[in-house]
Amino acid sequence: MKIFAIGMNYSEHNKSLHGTLSKTNEPVIFLKADSALLKDGKPFFIPDDMGRIEYETEVVVRICRLGKTIPERFAHRYYDAVTVGIDFTARELQKKLKEQGHPWELSKSFDGAAVLGSWVDKERLLDIQRLRFHLDINGKTVQQGCTCDMLCNIDEVISYISRYFTLKTGDLLYTGCPTGCGPVRINDHLEGYIEDRKVLDFRCK
């Protein structure tokens, strides 16, 4: 199983981090280790030696077929379910790595950094590219977005990734986060929603 993630896929998030609203010509792709995956409502243990850990709430899609060099018009056939996930980021470490021109993996791929909610069959949703989603922490909404605001939509991303990687059943795609990232603390209770459906529920330890 591969865990793909998309960086800088929402303009307002880019503006908050980088001071620009510009769209990149191609999706920004990075991978997370399979040991980063955290699911089934298990607690997230905040690392005590990595500085500030921030949540990034994202829609995640599940690949359901083997595919290589997939035309964009057929990409919708290659995923069957969606959920909400958290792309945890060690923000200070990420900034340091960027400044040094190094890859992001240490700040994005540590154990538990890819939290995954429960799946919703995409056929139960009207339009994957018009999904509203949000994250509550301790009962208060802290981050929200809509997939209609993606700079590169899901089908574009799948087609692009498949030029370089063979997609396999069970691979995951974290599609990027909107603006509103913030830190997590011990005892925080995180709940993620697609529309009004709660699909994610876990606590920080």
Percent of the chain having pLDDT more than 90? 89
Q: Alpha carbon of 51 to those of 46, 91, 118, 142, 163: distances in Å?
A: 10, 8, 29, 20, 36
Exposed/middle/buried for 92, CB within 10 Å: 0-12, 13-18, 19+? middle
**Three-state DSSP class for 203?**
strand
Exposed/middle/buried for 89, CB within 10 Å: 0-12, 13-18, 19+? Answer: buried
More confident residue, 126 or 133: 133
Domain span at residue 178 reads 3-204
Q: What is the pLDDT of the chain when averaged over all its residues?
A: 93
pLDDT at 15 over 50: no
- Domain of 110, CATH number, reads 3.90.850.10
pLDDT > 70 fraction of the chain, expressed in percent and rounded: 93
Q: What pLDDT digit, counting tens, does each position of 107-119 carry?
A: 999 999 999 999 9
Number of domains observed in the structure of the chain: 1
Q: Residue 43: phi, psi to the nearest 5?
A: -70, 150
* Per-residue model confidence (pLDDT) at position 12: 62
Exposed, middle or buried by CB within 10 Å (0-12, 13-18, 19+), for 149? middle
Q: Which residue has the tokens 């087609």?
A: 159
Two tokens, residue 30: 């990075």
Sequence letter at residue 45:
F
Q: What is the 3-state secondary structure (H, E, C) of 99-154?
A: HCCCCCHHHHCCCCCEEECCCEEHHHCCCHHHCEEEEEECCEEEEEEEHHHECCCH
pLDDT in tens, 75-107: 999 999 999 999 999 999 999 999 999 998 999
Inform me whether the pLDDT recorded for 20 exceeds 70: no
For residue 11, the model assigns a pLDDT of 76
Statement: residue 161 has pLDDT above 90: yes
Q: Name the pairing type of β-strands 172-174 and 3-7.
A: parallel
Q: How confident is the model at residue 42 (pLDDT cuts 50, 70, 90)?
A: very high
Q: Quote the pTM value.
A: 0.92
For residues 181 and 56, is the Cβ–Cβ distance under 8 A? yes
| Backbone φ, ψ for residue 101 (5° rounding) | 75, 25
Residue 203, Cβ neighbours under 10 Å: how many?
16
Task: Report the C-alpha gap between 19 and 73 in whole angstroms.
Answer: 33
Tokens linked to 48: 């005590």
Check if the beta carbon of residue 89 is closer than 8 Å to that of residue 112. no
